[in-house]
Amino acid sequence: MSAAPPAVPTRFVRTAHVARKERAEGVARFLFFLMAAAMVVPLCAILGYLLWKAAPALHLGFLLDVPKKGMTEGGIWPAFVGTLYLVGMSLAVSAPVGVLAAVYLNEYSRDNAFTRAINLAVINLAGVPSIVHALFGLGAFVYAAKFGYSILSASLTLAIMTLPVIIASTREALASVPHSFREACWNVGASRWQTIQAVVLPNSISGILTGLILQVSRAAGETAPIMFTGAVFYKAVQRGDLFPYRLDEQCMALSMHLYTVATQVPNVQEAIPYATAVVLLGSVLLVNATAVTLRVWLRGRKRW
């Protein structure tokens, strides 16, 4: 009968020190999960409550119809289209200005007192309350520029308000592109602008979209800036009209309409304010989801 093979010595064993580290890691993981749940659960609860209260009025006709009977019935089409006008116009102004300003600050400017003053101004501008932006828009665009109370004045005010976010996010995206990419282009004779246009911007577009997502979200939900510069309590609009406003006219907006029907209109149907809030949130989430999907697709095309 052959002897049993010798036991193989165990090199790695679970010591008391390893056990303590595993328990600490488990506790940390559980705490991080609670932190994430603390953000997600209230959001889901709010959305669920809004959907439940808005259910009686939430249908396609509510979106396409116009307010009726002193805004106590009907839909939100004028406010929905007005929000699209305001957000679209503000994005058309702030996106190119913000991106080009970030390109200058990150790619061309030197570290001197002037650029440090610009950076400080951008940071301070991001912390200014929206009501201050509203007063600035009132004085600068409504009175000084003589645009009057109009979509143009409101859109420019929203653009000024959202510029710091776009500039900051674009600078971070540009700075994330490796400097070796720029050096490789310069070594083959490309100019600085050719390098930025062909290499830096395409590789930072996913980060730039982050700032644009935040711009759309904030512009769609602001009330004070548009209330002082271009939003109106009520505007007669034909049902389903895609072009009901001119740029020199005032318009309705979802955020202003929600405030109005929730606080200023008596005997309004209970579901209308909640349905308006759901449409506003849904529009922002739809735009954000589209931009996030595009950003993920662009990020997947990177080769570094």
At 150-188, the pLDDT tens digits run 999 999 999 999 898 899 889 888 988 888 888 888 888
Question: For position 243, what pLDDT does the model report?
Answer: 86
Stretch 224-234: mean pLDDT:
89
The domain spanning residue 117 has which CATH number? 1.10.3720.10
Question: For position 61, what pLDDT does the model report?
Answer: 86
Question: For position 158, what pLDDT does the model report?
Answer: 93
Is the pLDDT at 304 greater than 60? The verdict is no
In a domain, 285, yes or no: yes
Burial (0-12, 13-18, 19+ Cβ within 10 Å), 72: middle
In a domain, 289, yes or no: yes
Question: For position 20, what pLDDT does the model report?
Answer: 86
Question: For position 212, what pLDDT does the model report?
Answer: 84
Reference 176, options 202, 141, 151, 203; nearest CA is 203
Reference 216, options 124, 128, 94, 98; nearest CA is 94
Question: For position 10, what pLDDT does the model report?
Answer: 54
Stretch 40-47: mean pLDDT:
88
In a domain, 220, yes or no: yes
Distance, in Å, from the CA atom of 213 to the CA atom of 234, rounded to the nearest integer, reads 29
Is the pLDDT at 299 greater than 90? The verdict is no
Higher-confidence residue of 296 and 141: namely 141
Question: For position 143, what pLDDT does the model report?
Answer: 93
Q: Which two tokens stand for residue 6?
A: 């010798």
Stretch 38-55: mean pLDDT:
89
Residue 68 backbone phi and psi in degrees, to 5: -135, 160
Tokens 């009968």 correspond to: 1
| Residue 2: band (very low, low, confident or very high) from pLDDT cuts 50, 70, 90 | low
CA distances from 252 to 12, 83, 117, 278 (A): 70, 7, 38, 17
Alpha helices per DSSP H over the chain: 16-54, 60-64, 77-103, 113-126, 130-137, 151-176, 179-187, 192-195, 201-221, 224-229, 254-263, 271-300
Is the pLDDT at 49 greater than 60? The verdict is yes
Question: For position 86, what pLDDT does the model report?
Answer: 92
pLDDT tens digits, one per residue of 53-91: 998 888 888 888 888 888 888 889 999 999 999 999 999
In a domain, 55, yes or no: no
Distance, in Å, from the CA atom of 69 to the CA atom of 93, rounded to the nearest integer, reads 37
Reference 152, options 212, 230, 59; nearest CA is 230
| Residue 302: band (very low, low, confident or very high) from pLDDT cuts 50, 70, 90 | low
* CB 198, CB 181: distance < 8 Å: no
* CB 95, CB 215: distance < 8 Å: yes
In a domain, 240, yes or no: yes
In a domain, 224, yes or no: yes
> How many structural domains does the chain have?
1
What 82-85 contacts at long range (C-beta under 8 Å, 24+ apart), as own/partner pairs, is 82/151, 82/231, 82/235, 82/245, 82/251, 82/252, 82/253, 82/254, 83/220, 83/253, 83/254, 83/255, 83/280, 83/283, 85/151, 85/155, 85/245, 85/251
In a domain, 178, yes or no: yes
Residue type, position 77, single letter:
W
Q: Give me Rg for the CA atoms of the chain.
A: 27
Beta bridge partners of 251: 231
Stretch 262-272: mean pLDDT:
86
Question: For position 42, what pLDDT does the model report?
Answer: 87
* CB 225, CB 142: distance < 8 Å: no
Reference 234, options 36, 68, 11; nearest CA is 68
Distance, in Å, from the CA atom of 303 to the CA atom of 178, rounded to the nearest integer, reads 12
Q: Which two tokens stand for residue 241?
A: 């009209």
pLDDT tens digits, one per residue of 82-120: 999 999 999 999 999 999 999 998 888 888 888 888 888
In a domain, 90, yes or no: yes
Reference 214, options 177, 172, 250; nearest CA is 172
- Domain range enclosing 277: 74-300
